[in-house]
């Protein structure tokens, strides 16, 4: 048995050595027996660590994102002396298939045969999570999906969000702005885009921990009604409202936005980073609900992540494998629109478009801040929610930042009004937004 184990290590080492030489890799590998590939790779240099031979067997049999996700979550595959950002920065030029070709078909087949009867080992912590499915838009399903993402732990989010607990794209006046500053700038920019005035009523769909609602009430004198389906968000948001003495100006309700009663109840409506949870089949319900609740001529600020309109996902409606994994493990029921369809839907549902602003690079930087702050508080996060959850979120935040950096996803703020015959009473220019 020992001889066979040594043979497997020699076979796998030869395979990685060949790939390392042919692709001129700038990172190494650390194997489960303590050896390195290349053999003289410094112990303090960037490397991919493989904890057991079952991890190799699993990847050889099922080279899929779900396999890799489970191995990462269980720390059976890890990055040492660096982060995912460092690994990506030193990735070989070319595509994954080029790396696969560099392994050599004969040597790859021989290695696969050597590992054919090796048990895949364990644990497999993410296998209990059911595959993602399209949201049916029901209140029960929406609440379950939201709970999966947001009810992880308020204390967990507090470790890496800003002090106001804003969990959406920040807005940088300067790329050197810190996260705290950029998040306040984002909230205030939304208030200015909505041209909030004292005494107006505002609906905040997906209000999170109440950052926008409290800021708008304190600084613009409006009355805000926030809704969320997260039990933990509700508890912290209500405590914040009470602590700031805003009970007469801010109400927070555990409610599905689509079930809010009434017509023309609100002067302004905002939806900040909530639309991604709706699901494509439920887009019409979303736009119809906002239109019903908004007063004629009232302004609506729609803030949402998008995918490129020309992408295969946009053309076919099918999620990419990596995004499907993210929605399964982190963001169940999630679906990204593309900005062309968003604008079309707004117009089809009785809105007039006034402004569309792209914030893709702002979100790239926001997610990088979140990732780095989580890494800095890694031990505290593991203590709060466990290492598996911490590792999944760590790679999720990194992957999001990289996705925005590569322009495989975007972020747009769209300002619209409920269509009327006549003026909407907006300023003639945007100058007031940049005072």
Tens digits of residue pLDDT in 163-197: 999 999 999 999 999 999 999 999 999 999 999 99
Q: Which CATH number fits domain 139-434: 1.10.1240.10, 1.10.10.10, 3.40.50.150, 3.50.50.60?
A: 3.40.50.150
Q: What is the pLDDT of residue 136?
A: 62
Q: What is the pLDDT of residue 39?
A: 95
Cβ atoms 170, 153 nearer than 8 A: no
pLDDT exceeds 60 at position 96: no
Cβ atoms 256, 142 nearer than 8 A: yes
Q: What is the pLDDT of residue 87?
A: 93
Tell me how far the alpha carbon of residue 419 is from its chain's centroid: 32
For residue 71, name the pLDDT band (cuts at 50, 70, 90): very high
Calculate helix-pair angle for 53-61, 2-23, nearest 10 degrees. 60
Q: What is the pLDDT of residue 332?
A: 73
Residues 6+ apart with CB under 8 A from 60: 111, 112, 115
317: left (phi over 0), alpha (psi -120 to 50) or beta: left
pLDDT exceeds 70 at position 12: yes
- Bridge-based pairing of strands 250-254 and 223-228 is parallel
Q: What is the pLDDT of residue 1?
A: 55
From the list 169, 214, 367, 400, the catalytic residue is 400
Portion of the chain with pLDDT greater than 90, in percent: 72
How far apart are alpha carbons 142 and 12 in whole angstroms?
46
pLDDT exceeds 60 at position 28: yes
The pair of structure tokens assigned to 371 is 């990732």
Q: What is the pLDDT of residue 24?
A: 85
Is 400 catalytic? The answer is yes
Of the candidates 319, 416, 413, the residue with the CA atom closest to the CA atom of residue 363: 413
Cis preceding-peptide flag for 123 (omega within 30 of 0): yes
How far apart are alpha carbons 12 and 114 in whole angstroms?
9
Cis preceding-peptide flag for 311 (omega within 30 of 0): no
How far apart are alpha carbons 180 and 397 in whole angstroms?
18
Give the DSSP letter string of 157-180: HHHHS-TT---S----SSTT--HH
Phi, psi angle pair for 97, to nearest 5°: -65, -30
How far apart are alpha carbons 413 and 353 in whole angstroms?
11
Q: What is the pLDDT of residue 102?
A: 61
Q: Where in the chain is the domain with CATH 3.40.50.150?
A: 139-434
Sign for the pseudo-dihedral over CA of 254, 260, 266, 270: positive
The model's pLDDT over 286-333, given as tens digits with 9 standing for 90+, comes to 999 999 999 999 999 999 999 998 766 655 566 666 666 767 777 777
Residues 6+ apart with CB under 8 A from 367: 397, 398, 400, 401, 404
């Amino acid at each position: 048995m020992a001889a066979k184990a040594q043979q497997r290590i020699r076979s796998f080492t030869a395979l990685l050595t060949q790939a390392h030489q042919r692709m001129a890799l700038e990172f190494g590998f650390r194997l489960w027996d303590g050896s390195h590939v290349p053999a003289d790779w410094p112990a303090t240099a960037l490397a991919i660590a493989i904890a057991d031979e079952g991890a190799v067997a699993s990847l050889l049999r099922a080279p899929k994102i779900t396999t890799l996700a489970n191995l990462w979550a269980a720390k059976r595959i890890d990055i040492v002396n660096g982060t995912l950002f460092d690994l990506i920065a030193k990735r070989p030029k070319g595509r994954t298939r080029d790396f696969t070709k560099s392994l050599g078909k004969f040597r790859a087949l021989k290695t696969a045969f050597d590992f054919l009867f090796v048990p895949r080992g364990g644990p497999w912590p993410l296998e209990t999570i059911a595959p993602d499915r399209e949201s049916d838009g029901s209140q029960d399903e929406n609440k379950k999906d939201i709970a999966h993402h947001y009810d992880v732990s308020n204390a967990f989010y507090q470790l890496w969000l800003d002090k106001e607990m804003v969990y959406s794209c920040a807005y940088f006046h300067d790329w050197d702005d810190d996260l705290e500053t950029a998040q306040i700038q984002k909230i205030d920019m939304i208030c200015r885009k909505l041209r909030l005035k004292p005494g107006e009523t505002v609906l905040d769909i997906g209000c999170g921990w109440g950052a926008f609602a409290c800021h708008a009430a304190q600084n613009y004198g409006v009355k805000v009604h926030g809704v969320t389906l997260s039990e933990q968000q509700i508890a912290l948001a209500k405590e914040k409202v009470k602590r700031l003495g805003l009970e007469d100006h801010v109400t927070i309700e555990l409610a599905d936005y689509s079930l809010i009663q009434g017509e023309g109840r609100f002067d302004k409506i905002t939806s900040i980073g909530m639309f991604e949870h709706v699901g494509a089949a439920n887009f019409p319900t979303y736009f119809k609900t906002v239109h019903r609740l908004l007063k004629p001529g009232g302004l609506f600020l729609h803030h949402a992540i998008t995918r490129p309109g020309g992408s295969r996902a946009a053309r076919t409606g099918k999620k990419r494998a990596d995004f499907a994994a993210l929605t399964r493990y982190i963001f169940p029921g999630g679906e990204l629109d593309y900005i062309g369809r968003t604008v079309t839907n707004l117009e089809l549902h009785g809105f007039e478009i006034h402004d569309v602003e792209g914030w893709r690079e702002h979100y790239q930087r926001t997610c990088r801040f979140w990732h780095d702050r989580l890494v800095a508080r890694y031990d505290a996060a593991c203590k709060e929610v466990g290492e598996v959850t911490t590792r999944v979120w760590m790679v999720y935040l990194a992957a999001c930042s990289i996705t925005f950096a590569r322009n495989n996803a975007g972020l747009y703020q769209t300002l619209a009004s409920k269509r009327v015959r006549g003026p909407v009473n907006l300023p003639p220019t945007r100058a007031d937004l940049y005072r």
